[in-house]
Structure 1
Amino acid sequence: MSTDHTSLPETFEAWTWTGPGEPEALKRERRSLEAPGDQEVIVATRAIGLNPVDWKFIAMDSALWQPGQIPGVDAAGEVLACGAGVTHVAPGDRIAVHTTLAGPGSFATHLRLPARAVIPLPETIDWATAAAFPCPALTAWQAIEKLPVKPGKRLMITGASGSVGRWLVQLAAERGFRVIAMASTKRHEALRALGAQEVLETPEALSAPVFAVIDTVNGEHARRMTDHLGANGHIVCVQDRLEAAAAPAFGRALSQHEVALGALHQAGSDADWAELRQAGRTLLARVADGELTLPTPEIDDFAHLPQRLSELKHARVRPLKTVITL
């Protein structure tokens, strides 16, 4: 599907990266808006979801970025125009997107995106909820999909009170796992309400080895958690990865998994993308129906984006999710 692009605005505003540093160093600029290429869409941004990967990349000296890069991976908005070959969305559609770290990102009033990454929204999903959805929800879905479904098996989720962790608790519980959520005591009641059958502060409280651990903390933490796996167990790393085998050969025979949404941007097939979009649509429909729960995000204005991202990085505030609206 291609469309007439003459009605597109000539320019847009974006927060841009000038070099490794703090979020406050982002520069607000006006850019020319190009027409979409083949398999691309132009989206008018209505909300932007902030994620830890945003401030992590802003601080890095990455070969993926040059000065002028627009950061950000999550957004929601309205499709304005479609390039040739786009078939699953049309101008006027409401969408959510998790876009590539390597290309122009979501910190902008208008987005030029690969259409394959765009997920249509249910009518009843508001912009803020849609923008808060992609990174945590799709990461959790990818993580749980790494595991064979074995109802009754014990699955421990670390960092369970975070955005990804809360999704994982719900998805694991509905698959029939016995969910063990690890988080601070003040979060235990909320995690039980989401489906956790056991809650604990430290793994030392475990009564027996577990079938699997999904770790949302970091690589070193994940390595320590492998001590609590039984025979033929699984470790799934959401943050970082294990660089070496978690156990000696021919011992417990542990399986190691890493999760990265960016893998699809690098090497995903059309079938891979169709599967991810369908998972997103299904999850969003279940949110709309009240079957799955998202925390209510804190909302601020586009002008305050660098400040809010800095607050998240330095833990000056701890909302489960912050969304920037336009």
Structure 2
Amino acid sequence: MKALVVANQGDQSVNRLQIAEVAKPIPTADQVLIRVHAVGLNPVDYKVVEGGVPAWTYPHTLGLDVTGEVVAVGAAVTDWQVGDRVSGHGDLTQNGCFAEFVAVPTYQLARIPDNVSYETAASLLCGALTAYTAVERKPNLTNVRTVLVHAGAGGVGSIAIQLAKLHGLKVFTTVSTGKVKYVRQLYPDAIIDYRQEDVDTRLAQLTDGLGVDLIIDTVGKAEAERDLRRLAYNGTLVTIVDVPDLTGAPVFDRGLSMDVVNLGGAHLSGNPFQQADLGKMNSEMLALAAAGKVDPLIEKVISFDQIKDGLQAIKDHRVIGKLVAEID
């Protein structure tokens, strides 16, 4: 079968990726074999190429977000059948889905509703499930009124805004100047252009100086450290990229809390309940899409042969919205 691969350990750049013929995988007892129809492209796809993964053997097939049709089931699989339309977010230590076929464990899978296309399902995995974890799993929303979502034009931020709005929260988001118009379609209550405005000053105005109840940080450690001082009393920071230094932060005085999202870590956790939650969250996201409550904001659907160029475009920040590739 054809696959997009990192051919050798030293090939640590997107332009070294190759389309190659590799052996079709054989599912183990707890896996299914999927004929791939569409895949989602993510920043993590090029980042793991550049950083390398010690567990890889070569050639290594890339790709985490898969949709397709089950064509074979392992000996221990009972809940999935040949012909099922499925999607799943994969384990980056294993061979991935930028290929004609992929074998995956069943815990990560969800059935795709009839009114949801393979392309839409492929766009609702890595970034969307990260956002889902950040809004629906980590924080206690009981006493939350306001939420700040950083980088609202991104794959995580755009979904987090939509989920927070479904809860009736007042949503603020930060974006760069060129993405203000794009983010307006999500109807946040306030858009903060961080290139033109002082974020702290604007948040103080928006919250009457009380601070924000929930902040979802998709930027990095330095921003997360600033976020700790933007939180309201009893506020919560959910960080996705890195953990802030808590030295000097008013954590106890203001009753602050912090949660960390590491979506793919569930695969290596050894915890079957957390692994199964990947599939459960996937099902819940697909149900929202089927009901028309969440828009994955697909920018473009490309061909298999264009995946390499698509990853480079993501790295170069030339993509706003979700990039999906059709395999068949």
Question: TM-score, normalised to structure 2's length?
Answer: 0.88
CA distance 1:286–1:38, shift in 2 (3 Å) = same
CA distance in 2, matches of 1:179, 1:319: 20
Secondary structure at the aligned position of 2:171 is classed as: strand
Instruction: Name the CA distance, whole Å, in 1 between partners of 2:62 and 2:248.
Output: 34
Q: What amino acid is aligned across from residue 183 of structure 1 in structure 2?
A: V
Deviations 1:268-323 (A, max 9, x none): 533333333223222212212212222133121111211221121123x2231111
Q: How does 1:31-70 map to 2 (within 5 A)?
A: 31-70=22-61
Aligned residues, how many? 314
| Per-residue deviation, residues 15-37 of structure 1 (Å, max 9, x unmatched) | 11123522120122212224211
Q: Give the C-alpha shift of residue 185 in structure 1.
A: 5.0
Q: What is the match of residue 222 of structure 2?
A: 220
The C-alpha deviation readout for 1:215-248, integer Å capped at 9, x for no partner, is 1112222222222112232111122332545715
Aligned letter for 2:128? A
- In the alignment, which of 247, 254, 262 is matched to residue 264 of structure 2? 262
Letter in 1 for 2:151: G
Asked if the contact 2:251/2:257 (under 8 Å) is kept, the reply is no
Identify the residue that residue 21 of structure 2 maps to in structure 1.
30
Q: Residues 150 and 177 of structure 1 are in contact (CA less than 8 Å); yes or no, is this contact kept in structure 2? A: no
One-letter amino acid of the structure 2 residue matched with residue 175 of structure 1: H
Matching of residues 60-209 of structure 1 within 5 Å: 60-144=51-135, 145-150=137-142, 153-184=145-176, 187-188=179-180, 191=183, 193-202=185-194, 203-204=199-200, 205-206=202-203, 207=205, 208=209, 209=211
**Equivalents in 2 of 1:150, 1:198: separation in Å?**
22
Letter in 1 for 2:129: L
Q: Contact 2:144/2:214 (CA < 8 Å) preserved in 1? A: no
Mapped to 1, the partners of 2:164 and 2:69 lie a distance apart of 32
Partner of 1:5: none
The answer to whether the aligner puts 1:323 opposite 2:324 as a matched pair is yes
One-letter code aligned to 1:198: A
For 2:57 and 2:102, how far apart are their aligned partners in 1? 18
Answer yes or no: is the 8 Å Cα contact 2:225–2:246 preserved in 1: no
Contact 2:62 2:96 in 1 (8 A): yes
Of stretches 306-315 and 27-36 in structure 1, the one that deviates more from structure 2 is 27-36
CA distance change for structure 1 residues 245 and 235 in 2, over 3 Å: closer, same or farther?
farther
- With over 3 angstroms needed to count, the CA separation of the structure-2 counterparts of 1:121 and 1:268, relative to structure 1, is farther
Partner secondary structure for residue 194 of structure 1? coil
Match of 1:303 in 2: 305
Contact 1:151 1:175 in 2 (8 A): no
* Distance in 2 of aligned mates of 1:189 and 1:152: 27
Q: Which has the higher contact order (CA 8 A, sep 6+)?
A: 2
- For residues 187 and 224 of structure 2, the distance between their equivalents in structure 1, rounded to whole angstroms, comes to 23
Distance in 1 (CA, whole Å) between partners of 2:184 and 2:299 is: 21
Aligned to 1:3: none
Task: Give 5+ residue unaligned stretches, structure 2.
Answer: none
Distance 1:94 1:103 in 2: 22
1:258–1:174 distance in 2 versus 1, CA, 3 Å: same
- For 1:284 and 1:246, locate their aligned partners in 2 and report how far apart those are by CA, in whole Å: 42
CA separation of 1:128/1:155 partners in 2, compared to 1, >3 Å: closer, same or farther? same
Runs (5+) with no aligned partner, structure 1 = 1-11
Q: CA 1:192–1:322 in structure 2 vs 1: closer, same or farther (change >3 Å)?
A: closer
User: Counterparts of 2:251 and 2:139 in 1: how far apart (Å)?
Assistant: 21
Does the residue aligned with 2:110 lie in a helix, a strand or coil?
strand
Task: Describe the shift of the 1:231–1:95 C-alpha distance in structure 2 as closer, same or farther (beyond 3 A).
Answer: same
Is 1:275 matched with 2:277?
yes
Q: In the TM superposition, what is the alpha-carbon distance from 1:61 to its structure 2 partner?
A: 3.4
Change (3 A) 1:93 1:249: closer
